[in-house]
Amino acid sequence: MRVRLPHRLVLHGWFGCGLLWLGLLLPSTVFALEVAVVVSQPAGPHQAFADAFGRVTAGLGHRIVLAGSARQGVDDRVLARADLVVASGEAAAAAVLGRHRRPILATMLSREAFERLRRRHPEAALSAFTLDQPAERQLRLLRALLPESRRVGALVGDAGFDREALASAADRVGLALTTAVVAGESALIRGLENVLRDSDAFLAIPDPLLSSPSAARAILLTSYRFRKPVIAFSQAYVEAGALAAVYTTPEQVATEVAAWLARARKDKPRLPAPRGPAAFEIAINHQVARALGVRVDDEASLRRLTEGAASR
C-alpha cells in the first residue's frame, strides 16, 4: 500500500525533539509522516499506550497527533490527512475503519478482534500488533514454574479455534494438552471439570467467550478447587488468583510500534504483517504459589526459561 508523504525529513536527538514540539505549533510540512493516534477510550491502558507512544516516537521525526477516542469522538480533520492511523483497542480501530480509508495499524487488541475487523473491512489497509502471547511462551512459563507437570488443560470457546497449533506448541514444550470446546459460560464448569481432572495445570487463553470477569472468576475458583494452577495472559488475571501470566504492557506495545516505525521506509512505509508481541512481562501471584506449594525461582531464570519460546 502506498502512503502519501508530504515531505521527507528525518529528525534526530534533542534537536529532533525540539523540532517535534515545534512541529506541534507549525504546519505539518516539516515531518516525515503524520501519524494519527486514536484510542478506544481516553483513559486506562489505551491512554497509557498513547502517552507512551508519544514519548517513544519523539525522536523519529514523525508528527504524532492525537485524533480523539472511540468513546468521545474522533477528529475527522486529523484523520483525513494522516499518513498512518495507529488505533489503540478494537473500538478505536472500528471507529476509524468506518469513516476513513487511511492505513490503520491496530494495536492493543486481541488477534481474534483483529480478525473480526478484517472480516468486516476486507478492503481496508489494516494490520495489527496484537496482544496475544504465543501459546508456547505461556507453556514455557508453565514448565519453568512446574517442571514436574506433564499435562496441561485448556478450554476454547469456539470450535474453530486452532487446537492443533496449541497442541503442537504444547508438544514442543514437552506437555500433553487436553482441551474441551465450551460453547459459553453455561457449559464452563462442566468443561473445566473435564479438563482439570486430567491436567497438572490450566492454560487460560484470551478466548472472548471465556474471558469475561465472571468466567475468569469461575475458572480461578474451580481450578483452585482442583488445586491446579492457572497460567494466564494478563496482570489482572494474576492479581485475581492465577499463579502466573505472561503479558505485554501498553508501554511495550508502544515501543514495538515505534521500533517498526523507525525501520519503516519514510516515503513508502508498508504496513507490517500482523504480529504478536515480542516483549513481555511475567507476573507471579506469590500468595497463590505458596498456597499451591509451587516454588518460584528468581525472576531472571524464569524469564530465561520463558524466552526459550521466542528464540525458536
Of 2-10, 24-32, 215-223, 300-308, which part binds another protein (CB under 8 A)? 215-223
CB-wise, 68 or 241, nearer to another protein?
241
Can you tell me which of 76, 162, 171, 239 binds another protein, judged by CB under 8 A?
A: 239
Joined together, the cell numbers standing for residue 143 give 514448565
By CB under 8 A, tell whether 98 contacts another protein: no
CB-wise, 44 or 73, nearer to another protein?
44
By CB under 8 A, tell whether 305 contacts another protein: no
Quote the Cα angle for 278-281-285, to 5°. Answer: 150
Can you tell me which of 220, 257, 261, 302 binds another protein, judged by CB under 8 A?
A: 220
Taking the complex as a whole, the smallest distance from the CB of residue 25 to another protein amounts, in Å, to 34
CB-wise, 185 or 307, nearer to another protein?
185
Of 17-25, 28-36, 93-101, 185-193, which part binds another protein (CB under 8 A)? 185-193
Can you tell me which of 80, 183, 221, 278 binds another protein, judged by CB under 8 A?
A: 221
By CB under 8 A, tell whether 288 contacts another protein: yes
Taking the complex as a whole, the smallest distance from the CB of residue 58 to another protein amounts, in Å, to 25
CB-wise, 132 or 136, nearer to another protein?
132
Q: How far is CA 229 from the centre of its chain?
A: 23
- The 3-class SS string of the chain reads CCCCCCCCCCCCHHHHHHHHHHHHHCCHHHCCCEEEEEECCCCHHHHHHHHHHHHHCCCCCCEEEEEEECCCEECHHHHHHCCEEEEECHHHHHHHHCCCCCCEEEEEECHHHHHHHHHHCCCCCEEEEECCCCHHHHHHHHHHHCCCCCEEEEEECCCCCCHHHHHHHHHHHCCEEEEEECCCHHHHHHHHHHHHHCCCEEECCCCHHHCCHHHHHHHHHHHHHCCCCEEECCHHHHHHCCCEEEECCHHHHHHHHHHHHHHCCCCCCCCCCCECCCCCEEEECHHHHHHHCCCCCCHHHHHHHHHHHHHC
CB-wise, 82 or 195, nearer to another protein?
195
By CB under 8 A, tell whether 184 contacts another protein: yes
Of 24-32, 60-68, 136-144, 191-199, which part binds another protein (CB under 8 A)? 191-199
By CB under 8 A, tell whether 23 contacts another protein: no
Binding site for another protein (CB under 8 A): 44-45, 89-91, 108, 110, 131, 146-148, 184-190, 193-195, 197-198, 206-208, 211-214, 216-218, 220-222, 224-225, 227, 233-234, 236-237, 239-241, 247, 285, 287-288, 290-296
